[in-house]
Structure 1
Amino acid sequence: MKLILAEKPSVSKNIADALKIKNKQEGYYEGNGYIVTWAYGHLLQLYDAKDYDTRLSTWKMDNFPFIPTTFKYKVKSDPRHREKPDRNAQKQLKLIHQLMRRSDVEAIISACDFDREGQVIGDSIIYQQNTHKQVFRLLLNEWTPDEVQRGLQNIRPNTALRPLQDAGVSRQWADWLIGINLTSVATLKYQKGKGKALNIGRVLLPTLKIIYDRDKEIEQFVPENYYKLQADFQTKDDHVYHATYMEGKEDKFKQKATLEAIQEALKEKSAVVSDKQVQRKKEYPPLLFNLSNLQGHITNKYKGWTSDKVLKVAQRLYEKKFITYPRTASMALEESLVGKAAKVLERVVQDLSYKDEIKFAKIKRVFNNAQVESHSAITPTYVLPKKLSAEETIVYEAIKNRFIMQFMPIAEYEETRLATKMLEANLKGAFVSKGKVQLVEGWKKVEKVQSKDVLLPLVDIQDPVTLMKHDIKTEVTKPPQHHTEKTLLKVMETCGKKKGRENDHSDENDGEFMAILSGFSIGTPATRAETIKKLKDVGYISAENKSLICTALGRDLVETFPIKDLFDLEFTGRLEKALFDIEKEAFSKEDFLQFIYQFTKTSVDKIKDEKETVILEVKRQKRTNEVMGKCPLCGHAVIEGQKGFGCSNWKNGCKFVIWKNDKYLAAMKKKPTKTMVKALLKNGQATVKGLTSKKGNTFTAKLKYEKNADNDYFSWKMLFDK
């Protein structure tokens, strides 16, 4: 009997289905020589500082820096009551360890995600038990039945994945040390009042600095006028075309007088077509998606999407077996996947009207081992979805279409460049016109990408033309645009090494570029969305439509916090590169951690030596202890607290609370109000206006807040009038 540990229940079910196991017990499946159980992501978390030393439960400067001699783990905390362990996690961890100890279990297989975090999740659970049984690793890029069966035939000893575990643990410990120590001393130094903290993080601060720098560029931008001279010419066939005066490659002039002098020289002069160049050009499809490009594509195209939301939807599709592993940095596929890709393409194009144009081939742009890191690009699998939610459809269709595009004909267009010269005018330059005509639609047909044709008349070199009119256009230089999630993700992905290209919609050369920069980034594909979300949650940035903007608190932090290395993209990129090299056994975990220990100590001492200043002042709102109504669990009074409306009997264990940041309401752009809570407690329901749907429409509905049948927590229920 072999025990398989999956990262989530949904993945566990996929494995059980692939092994045709029908017998489901509480917390696991069993049959056909296997037991399949699951975690809920991280079941264990690192100790809090106060778990090592009770004196650290109160923040005092003298307590820091604090560096544990040994890092320890505990059951993850209950999200509602941080002081207590999560009961579901505790229960499942106990079950997993019981299954591991069963006498008929001869080996354990970790089937957690094939990345740093997945390795840490599986290893922390398995090795907490000090097992002497053999431990293996199942490494899959998708959870389809064929892949599960194939993967189980090729399991590897878990010891072979030690470098991946070293990288994961190094990341975890480093972020704990920097986060705990610097957040504590920064809050003590720069915050007045209690109740919040100044969040300091290895990935958080350089990401904030990217947005801060762009905001500063925009603030300091001084607009300047520039001028263009434009003209219309008429052919002998009475066709009119438009042209712009150019000297070399420059069509923008700082001095209007320069163009006014040229205008004078144009009077009563004839013109001729002096040059004509016609080129047939190819347009290749954009490369396959990695996570950052998928997030950028969706957030840029659809209103109301964030990179965090794209990742969550993609993760659901992955766990449902419809797409391959989404947390990838690669935009190509391993060459060994040629046969599988052909099979997938055959399945996903069945109902397309243009499927006869789709031809599978082993293309270097698609299949290239040199441009694949741990995981290949995101593609659909051969499992076709029968039903998807609206959100899932958007993400799945984007991935499917991008995959199909690779095997469509290359788009082609004809570009014509005309130069028109003024005779006897003695000008340095000429008037230039460009035309473009789409000849082959090719891959653009997949998503109906529109190409705008610009037609020029049929003329030959030396054909005489007539100058019809000319005028000087005054234009103004524009500041750079605020970062969006799309452009921010691109800078994070390359640590700013592509500065100037973040607004570029083409990713034609991204694969080659990313191969050079392997590992040199801010965060990983899995964490970047979470970082952007946290920046919003802690109040360092805000989102205005699609633009990301630094708040006053964010600006003050950048300008005041003295550890400038943490804002430096180069520094952060080197740390991430070191973690990448630990995975590849090119750098040691011990050397990395030694550097982090010293950096933490030096940084804490530097903050302590800085002068006192207030970045964040926390003002506690006075509570009136106004009674909202009776608690539906115990009958005591429900009152308003700082974070929610909760039962006054909470010290005795009553769990009733309606959080002010309730995610269900937040998804509809609402927060609970006193009026709403009073109505819920009095009438069992509340009529709520101004709720926002996923499509952005507002509506009114009745909401109930009802106790779950199997635990003491509550869930929302929505009702509509007939």
Structure 2
Amino acid sequence: MQLILCEKPSQAKEIASLVGASKRGEGCLLGNGVIVTWCIGHLLRMAEPDELNPDWAEWRLEQLPMIPSEWTMRVDRDKAKQFKAIKSLLSQATSVVIATDAGREGEMIAREILEHCNWRKGPVHRLWTSSQDEATLRKALASLLPGASKEPLYWSALARSRADYIVGMNMTRLYSLLAKQQGYQGVLSVGRVQTPTLALVVARDREIARFVSKPFFDVVITSAGGHGRTFAAQWLPVAQVADEEGRCINGPIAQQLAARLRGQAAQVASVEVKRVREQPPLPFSLSALQQVCDRKFGFGVQQTLDIAQSLYEKHKATTYPRSDCRYLPVAMLDEVKPVLQALAQSDPSLGPLVMQLDSRLRSSVWNDEKVNASDHHAIIPTMGVIDLSAMTEDERRVYELIRLHYLMQFMPAHEYDRTEVMLVALGQQFKAVGKVVAVAGWRALMVKSSASASLSADGAESDEAENSDAGGQELPPLEQGHVCPVTDAQVVEKKTTPPKFFTQGTLIAAMKGIARYVADPRLKAKLSETSGIGTEATRAAIIEGLIKRGFLLSSKRSVRSTDAAQSLIDALPQPLTDPGTTALWEQALSAIEQGQLTLDQFVATQAQWITHLVHEAKQAGRGALQIAATPTQACPLCSAPMRKRSGANGPFWGCTRYPECKGVMDGGGKKKRTRKKAEGAT
């Protein structure tokens, strides 16, 4: 009998209906010679330290380093019933189809069960798909892959898991015990991905704290062109009065120039017109979706992931959400018309729009090479007809955003003429930039929808609308040599601004684009190839974990590091805070997938490295870490110290300048509370 092993009950139900397994059994659906069962995520976990060695139950410095001599998996207590059912079903099975999510983690969820149960009774096949709609699942079921083709993903995932365990177990205990010697009460958690992520926030916070704002001065003239139409142009200061960014830093000079310019004439030195053609923004990867939802809707990254997962599992409205890819395979061109038809059926108001789309258009989204570099393709609508009324308001907003970016692929490019005019007045140069739309193209859809985004192909924020110096003005007809009277000249005083604090969305972007923070060109290339640190599936949980542990304070406007976080980052060896270490790991994990390195070799190397770090910290003793016994937090409104208090809704941080400042943060830093919720606190 064939056993199909799914990752979640919803997946199992969908597949069972397609293979004729309609009878309910214990933890399964069966019929037609097939059993369909399901995991609930990972049913197994790594054994806790005290389960590996009773002496490791108590945290003591002399125990470190702790390197397991053998690795043991334990059944998760809350999932023991389902594991027992699967184990029993495996005893009846003559072949297995792994139908868990496509990727390293999905492979591990299934393979660790087969290994734990020592199942060797027959062949293993792999169902590989990124969508759960009926048509796609039928296609995947008809073209199963040999199980061996994806098995290296399991060994790679297991290597990563064991090495993470060694790093986390030893480094967390080491620095928590060193901190305890100095009166700090709490756990200083250390991890391969979470620690470099925390270091990013600490570095940004310190850069902002060190920043000294400086004034600079823009001189803007208003000139008259043909037909009496006026336009604005900005002064390009000479080097003698400008900083390294080309900004005028001499206020009196700017004022004097403005006063002299009034009533003068500016001569057109050059006119350059360039036709700019913009392709539509790509569909979403998970991190790109999280960034946009953070910026537009104020959604936390975990909230966006939960919504995307619901759209995929519950509503069958979109494809696999934990994707790191923003491209689609050319083979999916055959599905364009069915998807567009399903969208129109699901939302009749889209009917007229769908009729205007050109399904023959080929935007840059169709790229097999980009898709082949990933386990998944972009998040797009499925071919299924869905019930929009069954969605929550937030689900509907995210769905419409995903849908919009798919529809844009079948609209013409947006085209505009960008005109750059250089003028000379009183021997000084001025620049005017204008824009005239030639073809609205896909931007016509953005006018009709508030669910629009501005992300480049790699997920970084971009100026899709126009260059920032365009100003949106429409210039009058101008030619070289034309003389334009200066009708007004104004000095606009500005100040340099510090970098922005991270938000959850921009922190996700930094994790994905971590390569820009690495100097070594080889490691930079590897991090670019692997889409940064963490995965689409884990980044939200990593940020949430840092917040819950008290390392980060998060509001809708910012994510900031706590004093404890800064002390920890200062104390840790550079390899633990450097994202380049993850790049080295990824190189090794790729080698495991390609059969060039074994699981045991990789783990042994990491154990040796951690042993060295532990011995170095022990020799440094108390000097290895300096941390305050009672850490303080910075108010998100005024940056004054905050004090932890208790309220009706649990602990929270309140500004010490209250009532002058009403800055209040959730005790875990997850969100800003209202003053009403905080009243009555002790």
Interval containing the TM-score (normalised by the shorter chain) = 0.7 to 0.9
Q: 1:272 pairs with 263, 267, 276, which one?
A: 267
For 1:34, give the aligned amino acid.
Answer: V
Structure 2, unmatched stretches of 5+, are 240-244, 451-464, 466-470, 632-645, 653-670, 678-682
1:291 CA drift (Å): 1.1
Q: Which runs of 5+ in 1 are unaligned?
A: 77-84, 501-512, 620-659, 662-668, 674-693, 701-722
Aligned with 1:522 (options 533, 538, 543)? 533
1:26 matched to 2:23: no
Q: Contact conserved, 2:262 with 2:486, CA < 8 A, in 1?
A: no
- State the 1:583 CA deviation: 3.0
Report what 2:562 is aligned to: 551
**Partners of 1:191 and 1:616 within 8 A in 2:** no
Correspondence for 2:392: 389
Map 1:162-201; keep pairs closer than 5 Å.
Answer: 162-191=151-180, 196-201=186-191
Distance of 1:453 and 1:110 partners within structure 2: 54
Deviation at 1:553, TM superposition (A): 1.2
Structure 2 counterpart of 1:457, one-letter code: P
1:133 and 2:143 are equivalent in the alignment: no
Q: Which amino acid aligns with 1:466?
A: P
* Secondary structure in structure 1 of the residue aligned to 2:216: strand
Contact 1:206 1:572 in 2 (8 A): no
1:532 pairs with one of 526, 543, 549: 543
Is the deviation greater in 313-322 or in 253-262?
A: 253-262
1:18-65 alpha-carbon deviations (Å, 9 max, x no partner) = 224321223111112211111111111011111121111111112121
CA distance in 1, matches of 2:506, 2:163: 27
Distance 1:55 1:7 in 2: 35
CA contact (8 A) 1:170 1:593 kept: yes
Q: Quote the offset at 1:260 in angstroms.
A: 5.1
C-alpha displacement of 1:672: 10
- Determine whether 1:340 maps to 2:335: yes
Measured in 2, the distance between the counterparts of 1:46 and 1:607 equals: 26
For residue 181 of structure 1, report the CA deviation from its aligned partner.
Answer: 1.2
Q: Using the TM superposition, give the Cα deviation of residue 498 of structure 1 relative to its aligned residue in structure 2, in angstroms.
A: 7.3
Question: Residue type matched to 2:322 in 1?
Answer: R
> Could you tell me how far apart the structure 2 residues matched to 1:316 and 1:227 are?
51
* Structure 2 counterpart of 1:532, one-letter code: I
Q: Given residue 355 of structure 2, which amino acid in structure 1 is its aligned partner?
A: D
Q: Secondary structure at the match of 1:126?
A: helix
Output the amino acid matched with 2:497: K
Counterpart among 313, 319, 324 of residue 329 in structure 1 = 324
2:496 maps to 477
Which residue type is aligned with residue 583 of structure 1? Answer: E
Give the corresponding residue for 1:656. Answer: none
> Aligned-pair distance for 1:210?
0.5
Describe the shift of the 1:236–1:67 C-alpha distance in structure 2 as closer, same or farther (beyond 3 A).
closer
Residue in 2 that maps onto 1:637:
none
1:452-491 equivalence runs, <5 A: 453-491=472-510
Q: How much has 1:267 moved relative to structure 2?
A: 7.0
Larger Rg: 1
Q: Could you tell me how far apart the structure 1 residues matched to 2:436 and 2:151 are? A: 56
Q: What letter matches 1:476 in structure 2? A: K
Q: Which amino acid aligns with 1:221?
A: F
Listed as ranges, the matches of 1:428-443 within 5 Å are 429-443=428-442
What residue is the counterpart of 2:642 in the other structure? none
* 1:364–1:282 CA distance, 2 compared to 1 (3 A): closer
Change beyond 3 A, Cα 1:672–1:315: same
Letter in 2 for 1:559: D
**Could you say which residue in structure 2 is the equivalent of 1:615?**
627
1:643-690 deviation line (CA, Å, top 9, x unaligned): xxxxxxxxxxxxxxxxx99xxxxxxx94499xxxxxxxxxxxxxxxxx
Q: CA deviation at 1:244?
A: 1.2
CA–CA distance in structure 2, aligned partners of residues 543 and 292 of structure 1: 18
**What do the CA deviations read for 1:308-331 (whole angstroms, capped 9, x no partner)?**
111122122222332211212111
TM-superposed deviation, 1:70: 1.7
Shift of 1:240: 2.3
TM-score, length of structure 1 as denominator length: 0.78
Counterpart secondary structure, 2:227: coil
8 A Cα contact 2:302 2:541, kept in partner: yes
The 8 Å contact of residues 333 and 376 in structure 1, kept in 2 or not, is answered as yes
Residue 410 of structure 2: which of 403, 407, 410 is its match? 407
| Cα-to-partner distance string for 1:387-417 (whole Å, 9 max, x where unaligned) | 2122221222111111111111211222222
1:221 Cα deviation from its structure 2 partner: 1.0
May I ask how many residue pairs the two structures share in their alignment? Answer: 602
Aligned residue runs from structure 1 range 299-338, under 5 A: 299-303=294-298, 305-320=299-314, 321-338=316-333
- Tell me the TM-score normalised to structure 2 length: 0.82
Cα deviation for residue 67 of structure 1 reads 1.1
What is the RMSD of the two structures over their aligned residues, measured on CA atoms?
A: 3.0
1:565-580 maps to which residues of 2 (within 5 A)? 565-580=575-590
TM-aligned CA deviation for residue 293 of structure 1:
0.5
Q: What is the distance in 2 between the residues matched to 1:605 and 1:498?
A: 29
Secondary structure in structure 1 of the residue aligned to 2:275: strand
**1:357–1:409: 8 Å Cα contact kept in structure 2?**
no
The CA distance in 2 between the partners of 1:311 and 1:208, in whole Å, is: 21
Matched residue, 2:354:
355
Pick closer, same or farther for the CA change 1:349–1:606 going to 2, 3 Å.
farther
CA distance in 1, matches of 2:273, 2:285: 36
1:282 aligns with: 277
Measured after TM superposition, the shift of residue 453 of structure 1 is: 4.0
**Aligned AA for 2:131?**
E
Classify 1:453/1:499 alpha carbon distance in 2 versus 1 (closer, same or farther; 3 Å): farther
**Equivalent pair of 1:61/1:185 in contact (CA under 8 Å):** yes
Does structure 1 retain, via aligned residues, the 8 Å contact 2:361–2:411?
no
Partner of 1:583: 593
C-alpha change, 1:697 and 1:139, in structure 2 (3 Å) is farther
Instruction: Give the C-alpha shift of residue 262 in structure 1.
Output: 4.3
Identify which range, 361-370 or 288-297, moves more after superposition: 361-370
Give the secondary structure class of the aligned counterpart of 1:573.
Answer: helix
* Shift in alpha-carbon separation, 1:697–1:405, aligned structure 2, 3 A: farther
8 Å contact 1:495–1:522 — kept in the other structure?
yes
Identify the residue that residue 603 of structure 1 maps to in structure 2: 613
1:276–1:418 Cα contact (<8 Å) kept: yes
- SS of corresponding position for 2:516: coil
Point out the structure with the larger helix share: 2
